[in-house]
Amino acid sequence: MFLSDNGGLSAHTRAGELHTHNTPLRSGKGSAYEGGIRIPFITKWPGITNKNSINANNIIIEDLYPTLLDMAEITPQSTIQNIDGKSFVPLLKQKTVKNDSYLYWHYPHVWGPEGPALKLYSAIRQGDWKLIYFHEDIKLELYNTKTDIGEQNDVLKIYPKMAKKLANQLGKYLRVANTKMPINKATGKMILFPDDAYKL
């Protein structure tokens, strides 16, 4: 298995020209947009995977551990580690799998550089739909990555029910995982969870 740990760098020269980018994906490393989280991933399993095959299902790095256990025919019950992901062995065997798992990102800290969309965020994806919650300005954005891979058209106002569904699921996940939201320095209070911030 070969993969990157995050989306590619999107940087400018001193003259302001973009010299590395992830087109058609938006933004880059450190961003909630696809340019910051979508990564190259290659798997070779002799006798199982088909040469030059491509699969468009969504997976996340947490899925690697249960997949490797599955490939080695080790039952999860025999491990002491918690298993967060889901095995994608069926995808490697070219089986049809419903692409509806929830994927989550929670990034409540500043990692260094400033730039477009390099903000504190939480995000959730299911299938082609992705909701991003920016902590600093309590703003939510909704994208359909199938019709808008460059995430240029925020469709939150067009699909409020989908936005609410994803905001509710993201808020539920963050609470169950006992995550912490950033503190607003001006008020001393914790930033709202996404489901509390978004009301229909």
Question: How many CB atoms neighbour CB 100 within 10 A?
Answer: 10
Going by C-alpha positions, the residue among 104, 100, 84, 108 that lies closest to residue 171 is: 104
Q: Where are the beta strands (DSSP E) in 13-138?
A: 18-20, 41-42, 102-107, 121-126, 129-134
Structure tokens belonging to residue 30: 């450190």
Supply the pTM of this predicted model.
0.89
Domains of the chain by start residue, with CATH? 100-197 (3.30.1120.10)
Residue 5 contacts residue 29 (beta carbons within 8 Å)? no
What's the CA gap between 144 and 99, in Å, rounded?
14
CA distances to 22, 76, 108, 155, 192 from 181, rounded to whole Å, are 29, 31, 7, 25, 7
Contact 170, 44 (CB under 8 A): no
**Torsion, CA 55, CA 58, CA 61, CA 66, rounded to 10:** -80
**pLDDT value for 132:** 97
Q: Calculate ∠ Cα 63-67-72, nearest 5°.
A: 155
DSSP per residue, 83-101: --S---HHHHTT-------
Tokens of 3: 């993969």
Closest of 101, 87, 104, 127 to residue 176, by C-alpha: 104
Q: Provide the residue-wise pLDDT of the chain in tens; the chain has 200 residues.
A: 998 888 777 766 566 666 677 889 888 888 899 988 898 899 999 999 998 999 889 999 999 999 999 999 987 767 788 888 899 999 999 998 888 889 999 998 876 666 655 789 999 999 999 999 999 889 999 999 999 999 999 999 999 999 999 999 999 999 999 998 999 888 999 999 999 998 76
Secondary structure class of 164 (helix, strand, coil): helix
